[in-house]
Amino acid sequence: MAKISKKRKEAFAKFNKEQAYSLDEAIKIVKEITYTKFDSSVDIDVRLGVDPRKANQMVRGIVTLPHGTGKTVRVLVLCTPDKEEEAKAAGADYFGLDEYIEKIKGGWTDVDVVITMPSVMPKVGALGKILGPRGLMPNPKTGTVTMEIGKAVQEVKAGKIDFKVDKFGIIHAGIAKVSFGPDQIGDNARELLQTIIKLKPAAAKGTYVKSIFISSTMSPGVKVDPKSTGTI
């Protein structure tokens, strides 16, 4: 049996891991049981009553968190020369086309989001085996394949995230930093949950939101009562 660290024991002593807390209580607990020396991310895990193996029960979407994620998002824009100035003005960290395609083919993926335009997707598509497994492949559904390059960059920098149910029926998303105020974390969590509720597939039967857990980097997960979120 794995040995539980002293810090983890202290964390478990501050809450009942079997109890479902209100969202606001759970957020306060997570802030209390986070002992990392760095500014930890706050993550939310939502288990849904869907079968993601069926196309008509896939849940995927985008949401702009009202207070952002607190993370510095590195954005690469793969675009034609006429769009480079727009990308630069919007705050893209890297922009260009052929030179970055060659860098990626060589193994460079030191970015968080890749945005491109429809006309260059044939070139970008060839990078699928590299970008796909890292969650970096541009997709029209997440707004990362668009002619509105500047707008897309600004939205990502402002806190737009995309999420997708995994093969176990769970959505994992980073929604804040522990340094955020409880109200800010709560606002971001509710915005994500409201979006997930709106995306409920017609084919999903029974309970849609089965469980919600909130945690920070390396902290235990705290169970949240779905009804307490005000979104269900």
Q: What is the pLDDT of residues 7-57, one digit of tens each?
A: 777 777 888 889 999 999 999 999 998 888 899 999 999 999 999 999 999
Is the pLDDT at 207 greater than 80? The verdict is yes
Residue 3 above 60 pLDDT? no
Predicted structure pTM score: 0.82
Collect all residues with Cβ–Cβ distance below 8 Å to 12 and sequence separation of at least 6. Answer: 4, 220
Instruction: Decide if 53 contacts 200 (C-beta within 8 A).
Output: no
Q: Which residues contact 131 (CB under 8 A, 6 or more apart)?
A: 104, 109, 114, 124, 137, 138
Q: Is pLDDT larger for residue 10 or for residue 83?
A: 83
Note the Cα 31 to chain centre separation in Å. 20
Q: What percent of the chain shows pLDDT beyond 90?
A: 80
- Helices 23-32 and 182-198, axial angle in degrees (round to 10): 130
* Cα separation, 53 vs 158, whole angstroms: 32
pLDDT score of 1: 40
Structural domains for the chain? 19-69+160-229 (3.30.190.20), 75-156 (3.40.50.790)
Q: What angle do CA 189, 21, 47 make, to 5 degrees?
A: 55
Environment class of residue 49 by beta-carbon count within 10 Å: exposed (0-12), middle (13-18) or buried (19+)? middle
pLDDT tens figures, 133-184: 998 999 998 899 999 999 999 999 999 998 999 999 999 999 999 999 999 9
Cα separation of 223 and 210, whole Å? Answer: 11
